[in-house]
Structure 1
Amino acid sequence: MSQQIKEGDKIPSGSLTSKGELGIQNYDPAEIFAKGTHILFSVPGAFTPTCSEKHLPGYVEHAEALEEAGVLSINCVAVNDAFVMKAWGESLGIGENVRLLSDGNGAYNQMLGLAMDTGNFGGIRSKRYAMIITDGTVTGLYVEDEKAFEVSKAEYILEQLQQ
Structure 2
Amino acid sequence: MSIQVGDPLPEVPLQRIRDGVETVDTKSLFGDRKVVIFAVPGAFTPTCSERHLPSFVEHYPQFRDKGIDVACMSVNDPFVMQAWGESQEVPDGLMMLADGNAEFTRALGLEIDASSYGMGTRAKRFALYAENGVVRQLHVEAPGEYRVSSAEHVLSQLD
TM-score for both structures, normalised by structure 2:
0.96
Report deviation, 1:19.
1.5
Instruction: Give the gaps of 5 or more residues in structure 2.
Output: none
The aligned amino acid for 1:113 is: G
SS at match of 1:84: helix
> Which runs of structure 2 are paired with 1:10-159 in the superposition (5 Å)?
10-20=8-18, 22-71=19-68, 73-121=69-117, 122-159=119-156
Residue by residue over 1:91-132, the C-alpha shift from the partner in whole angstroms, topping out at 9 and shown as x without a partner, is 111131411000001121011100011114200000000000
The aligned amino acid for 2:12 is: G
Hey, which bits of structure 1, 4+ residues long, moved more than 3 A? none
CA distance in 2, matches of 1:31, 1:11: 11
TM-score for both structures, normalised by structure 1:
0.93
CA distance in 2, matches of 1:67, 1:93: 17
- How many residue pairs end up in the alignment? 158
Farther-moved stretch of structure 1 (117-126 vs 76-85) = 117-126
CA distance in 2, matches of 1:30, 1:48: 29
CA distance in 2, matches of 1:91, 1:67: 22
Residue by residue over 1:73-103, the C-alpha shift from the partner in whole angstroms, topping out at 9 and shown as x without a partner, is 1000000000011111111111314110000
Instruction: Give the gaps of 5 or more residues in structure 1.
Output: none
What do you get for the CA RMSD once the two structures are aligned? 1.0
